[in-house]
Amino acid sequence: MPLSPYSRAQQARQELANRLAEIRREAGLTGSELARRCGWHPSKSSRIENARTAPTGEDVTAWCGACGARDRAGDLIASLRAAEGMWTEWRRMERSGLRQAQLNRLPLYERTQRFRAYSSWLVPGLLQTRSYTTAVLEAVQRRRGLVDDVAEAVNARMNRRRVLHQGNRRFAFLVEESVLRAGVGGTQVMSDQLAALIAAGSLPNVSIGIVQSTPDRERWPVEGFWIYDAAQVNVELVSGYLTVTAPSEVASYAAAFSELAACAVHGADARRLITAALNALDHPDHH
């Protein structure tokens, strides 16, 4: 069974740790001797070699210098950066606030021509209304205890929506039917959002599919993901943000998207489901 992208990120970190351990052994040093040469606590070398602590670029440089292998530091730091790029914890991505996290993704959106997005939790960001985005980001800010720059982050995300109307970009969105009935921001916010979803579906370069909640589904809901051209996939998990660039893994997400699309309804049938969810908000006792 192929490794998940998250497991691959862990594997990449372990491989780096193994290479550092090999350099230490080749130099004939114990972990304690290496730590002494680097000015570290004795346990730090062990934690790095067992991939319990991720080294910094400075740690790798010091390690190689202590082992007389300074010429190998550059290659190892490149491996470190690649491993770091695969997996980013939310707390690290959002350390300087939500606005910066939004801005960081803008270049990727601007260079992408074909977007495919599947969402099992929320309406996809590019289709969100201002009030829906505000409700989502306020909840994130409170839950994670972040600096309160929600208003600026909302502006950044709203600005990103311009890619829907620029150039020859194509967008295919798949949304789980449960998302249409998820309570975000209250009745009015959800009502406006569902109306905006119907309007977005009429854009000539936008396809919206609703994956129905049926009792006999063969393709179950998965974590939300975005496919940018055929170059990159981003996956949003509870603990962090995964970036996938290996062609075989990008292809596996593309295959999952196709399978989910086959379970979805589009066009007039999708509009009917969204309208039904909208009507249920107005008449909660008449589902």
Q: Name the 3-class secondary structure at 165.
A: helix
Residues 239 and 265 in one domain: yes
pLDDT given at position 1:
42
Q: Are residues 208 and 119 in the same domain?
A: yes
pLDDT on residue 250: 87
Poorest-confidence range of 30-39, 42-51, 99-108?
99-108
DSSP letter at 285 equals T
Residue with tokens 């960081």: 104
Interior CA angle at 226 toward 220 and 231, to 5°? 120
pLDDT for the residue 66 = 96
Q: What DSSP letter does each residue of 49-89 carry, written as one string? A: HTTSSPPPHHHHHHHHHHTT-GGGHHHHHHHHHHHHHHEEE
Q: Are residues 65 and 142 in the same domain?
A: no
Which one-letter DSSP state was computed for residue 18? H
Q: How far is CA 112 from CA 164, 229, 261, 277, in A?
A: 11, 6, 21, 32
Q: How far apart are CA 221 and CA 118, in angstroms?
A: 10
* Structural domain boundaries enclosing 252: 94-282
Among the residue ranges 2-16, 17-31, 101-115, 189-203, the one predicted with the least confidence is 2-16
Indicate the pLDDT class of residue 90, thresholds 50, 70 and 90. low
- Residue 13 and residue 121 in one domain: no
Both 239 and 269 in one domain: the answer is yes
Q: Indicate if 151 and 278 belong to the same structural domain.
A: yes
- Mean pLDDT for the chain? 87
Query: Of 51-55, 120-124, 181-185, 253-257, which range is least confident?
Result: 51-55
Residue 84's pLDDT band, with cuts at 50, 70 and 90, is low
> What single string gives the DSSP state of each residue in 99-139?
HHHHHHHHHHHHH-SEEEEEESSS--GGG--HHHHHHHHHH
What is the C-alpha separation between 229 and 9, in angstroms, rounded?
Answer: 22
* CATH, residue 223: 3.30.870.10
287 assigned to some structural domain: no
Instruction: Tell me if 114 is assigned to some domain.
Output: yes
- CATH number of the structural domain spanning residue 46: 1.10.260.40
Question: If you average pLDDT over residues 262-284, what whole number do you get?
Answer: 93
Most confident of 164-168, 192-196, 212-216: 192-196
Question: For a pLDDT cut of 90, what percent of the chain falls above it?
Answer: 59
Q: Which of 31, 58, 88 is the last residue of a domain?
A: 88
Q: What is the pLDDT of residue 248?
A: 78
Same domain, 140 and 278: yes
**pLDDT in the model for residue 213:** 87
What pLDDT score was predicted for residue 2? 46
Q: Which residue intervals of the chain are DSSP H helices?
A: 5-26, 31-38, 42-49, 57-66, 73-86, 90-93, 98-111, 130-144, 150-160, 187-200, 247-263, 267-282
Cβ within 8 Å of residue 72, ≥6 positions away: 23, 64
- Say whether pLDDT at 6 is over 60: no
Chain center to CA of 242: 5
Residues 83 and 104 reside in one and the same domain: no
